[in-house]
Amino acid sequence: MTSHLASALPVPSDHPVAASGKIGVLLVNLGTPDAPTYWPMRRYLKEFLSDRRVIEVSRLLWWPLLNGIILTTRPGKSGAKYASIWDKAENASPLLVITRRQTEKLAQTFAAEPRLVVDFAMRYGKPSIASRIDALRAKGCDRILIVPLYPQYAAATTATVCDKAFEHLMTLRWQPAVRIAPQWHDDPVYIEALASSVRQSLARLDFEPEVLLASFHGVPKNYLIQGDPYYCFAMKTGRLLREALGFSEDRFKITFQSRFGKEEWLKPYTDETVEGLAKSGVKRLAIVAPGFVADCLETLEELGEENKEIFQHNGGEHFAYLPCLNDSPEGQRVLEHVVTRELQGWI
């Protein structure tokens, strides 16, 4: 009775307007520079490589190296790589274009639920997590589901999305209720989507690969030793995908790419494996990247171009990079499944 009377009382004239009653879904991917040129690349790399979860080296050692050498030389090199895959029609990186399409299609999927508002953000670069949380709040979202777009949890990916979101929440007087979607590395819907996508991609090739590599982004081995579960999640995804495809262990191998610096990273390394397979006489090779939900620099340029060159330079003949799930029906089915699962009790 008291709450009913309270709700019926007139609102004071100086009461601030506060929209509420909606539920936000915020997809968050890694990030992208605004352009493949020096200064946008430098800004992006500085934000990315300043993250303490990405680079855990002592700041006393890291800051001089980052600001004195890396941010002087790496923007030009990385910019050239981005330029080779840049979506000129959209004037944006493939990662941004695909994430936007994923968001638009997901919004269409949930169009019958008027309370849901679907948006996306990037951990590094634009649109920022803080700006999209504010945008969702302005639309009346007092509950927000944040979905880090990483099927396998890692401190350097999923956790840093949480860090940035919570950092912004600390500045808000009226915080929305927030949920973080957990990893889905072994979810049957995800595994079947991967297997279906791989089957379709293989069927389109004009050759049959002797070996299929499942390449995951690497992290320093020390992160695993300190308790990061990423390696275990990646290995389980790979094993489940291999079993779903019906491949033998000789024909399906799990590797790790994108190592940086001289520290030991998770092994086996993708580039060294590709070279070794070519030198051993393998002539037909395909690579898939199950840990990426959208194609990006690490898949299109590093796997699709650099590793192709390594393979063919060392005696390989036929090479194919198989695309990520992206905004395909299989990929959208996974996102819909994860979001629906994590919204239980809210809708």
What are the tens digits of pLDDT across the range 209-252?
A: 999 999 999 999 999 999 999 999 999 999 999 999 999 999 99
pLDDT tens column, 279-292 = 999 999 999 999 99
At residue 3, the pLDDT reads: 46
- Regarding pTM above 0.85, the answer is yes
Q: What is the pLDDT of residue 15?
A: 66
298 carries a ligand binding annotation? yes
Task: Give 42-99 pLDDT, tens digit per residue.
Answer: 999 999 999 999 999 899 999 999 999 999 999 999 999 999 999 999 999 999 999 9
**Do 296 and 257 contact (CB within 8 A), yes or no?**
no
Q: Which class is 22-184+330-342 in CATH?
A: alpha beta
309 is known to lie in a ligand binding site = no
Contacts of 338-344 with CB under 8 Å at 24 or more apart are: 338/147, 338/181, 338/184, 338/187, 339/25, 339/106, 339/110, 339/145, 339/147, 339/181, 342/145, 342/147, 342/179, 342/181, 342/182, 343/23, 343/25, 343/145
Residue in 105, 168, 162 with CA at minimum distance from that of residue 136: 168
Q: Does domain 188-322 have CATH number 3.40.50.1400?
A: yes
pLDDT digits (tens, 9 = 90+) for 8-43: 567 677 766 677 899 999 999 999 999 999 999 999
For residue 180, give the nearest of 341, 5, 16 by alpha carbon: 341
Q: Where in the chain is the domain with CATH 3.40.50.1400?
A: 22-184+330-342, 188-322
Tell me what the mean pLDDT of segment 336-344 comes to.
98
Distance (Å, rounded) from C-alpha 141 to C-alpha 157? 25
Q: What letter does residue 294 receive in the DSSP assignment?
A: S
Rounded mean pLDDT, 295-300: 98
b/e 202-211 (16+ beta carbons within 10 angstroms → b):
beeeeeebbb
Q: Indicate whether 197 pLDDT > 90.
A: yes
| Cβ neighbours around 5 below 10 Å, total | 8
Q: Output the six-digit token pair for 294.
A: 């959208």
Residues with Cβ within 8 Å of 141's Cβ and at least 6 positions away in sequence, in order, are 22, 23, 24, 117, 176
pLDDT of residue 7: 52
